[in-house]
Chain A
Amino acid sequence: DQQVKQNSPSLSVQEGRISILNCDYTNSMFDYFLWYKKYPAEGPTFLISISSIKDKNEDGRFTVFLNKSAKHLSLHIVPSQPGDSAVYFCAASGGNKLVFGAGTILRVKS
């Protein structure tokens, strides 16, 4: 039973437009949410996070939104750049565990 779900395996966006990556979770015990970015042949790197007491966190071109009632979070990238092309993993933490989603492949076309 996947506790963190990323239902879109891939997303293709034009350079300069907005990329929206979605993530749903099922466990109400999760209290911290993160997005990781992964390039081929490299380990995942931390991108942005949000605590469950907030509904939005912004860092430059990246914004994460959290809707606790819907158990849903999203990552917005504006504007999207070709260098953003990577696999994005949503993760949720709580109770000494960090659980990842299956990942979404983002392709930004120039």
Chain B
Amino acid sequence: EAQVTQNPRYLITVTGKKLTVTCSQNMNHEYMSWYRQDPGLGLRQIYYSMNVEVTDKGDVPEGYKVSRKEKRNFPLILESPSPNQTSLYFCASSFNGLYGYTFGSGTRLTVV
């Protein structure tokens, strides 16, 4: 089954403790992207990647890092999480980056 898999689904952490949210896709898509969803703001892009070793900032990249060492994986790294990063995060992949995005089920992160 074609899918995007994120882990974990839920995470509660403390301020400043580094964490990684993993994302993997099995569709051989070149484009991958991370979004955060906040009430009243919709889905905002954090980072995206057009291919292995090619990443770029989205609209809200501050406080986040990403890497794309393999085509299928696109982890999101929070080096020093803060409470304003409490949000619902979605990873997505696409064959061309413009449409046809498949989304993961989401990771609900709470930073206390």
Whether B105 pairs with A41 at a CB distance below 8 angstroms is yes
In whole angstroms, what is the CA distance A101 to B43 when docked?
Answer: 7
Q: Separation in Å of the B11 CB from the closest CB of chain A?
A: 15
Task: Judge if A110 is at the interface, Cβ distance under 8 Å.
Answer: no
Whether B42 pairs with A102 at a CB distance below 8 angstroms is yes
CB-CB < 8 A to B105: which residues of A? 41-43
Using A9-B40, A32-B99, A102-B40 as known contacts, say yes or no to A96 and B50 having CB atoms under 8 A apart.
Answer: yes
Give the residues from 62 to 98 in chain A that come closer than 8 angstroms, CB to CB, to chain B. 89, 91, 93-94, 96-98
Q: Separation in Å of the A104 CB from the closest CB of chain B?
A: 10
A-B contact pairs, 25 of them (CB 8 A): A4-B42, A6-B42, A9-B40, A34-B99, A36-B103, A41-B106, A42-B105, A43-B92, A43-B103, A43-B105, A43-B106, A44-B43, A46-B100, A93-B98, A96-B48, A96-B50, A96-B56, A97-B48, A97-B58, A98-B45, A98-B99, A98-B101, A100-B35, A100-B43, A102-B40
In whole angstroms, what is the CA distance A68 to B55 when docked?
Answer: 31
In whole angstroms, what is the CA distance A89 to B37 when docked?
Answer: 11
In whole angstroms, what is the CA distance A49 to B2 when docked?
Answer: 20
Query: CB-nearest residue of chain B relative to A95?
Result: B98
- Out of B33, B43, B58, B98, which one reaches A32, CB within 8 Å? B98
**Residue with the greatest number of chain B CB neighbours at <10 A, chosen from A9, A45, A89, A98:** A98
Chain B contact residues (Cβ within 8 angstroms of A): what range? 20 to 34
**How many residues of A are counted as interface, with CB atoms below 8 angstroms from the partner's CB atoms?**
25
Per DSSP, chain A at the interface is strand
Task: Judge if A99 is at the interface, Cβ distance under 8 Å.
Answer: yes
- Out of B4, B33, B98, which one reaches A43, CB within 8 Å? B4
Task: Judge if B44 is at the interface, Cβ distance under 8 Å.
Answer: yes
Query: CB-nearest residue of chain A relative to B56?
Result: A96
Give the residues from 1 to 16 in chain B that come closer than 8 angstroms, CB to CB, to chain A. 4
Q: Separation in Å of the A3 CB from the closest CB of chain B?
A: 9
In whole angstroms, what is the CA distance A46 to B4 when docked?
Answer: 14
Whether A97 pairs with B40 at a CB distance below 8 angstroms is no
In whole angstroms, what is the CA distance A4 to B41 when docked?
Answer: 10
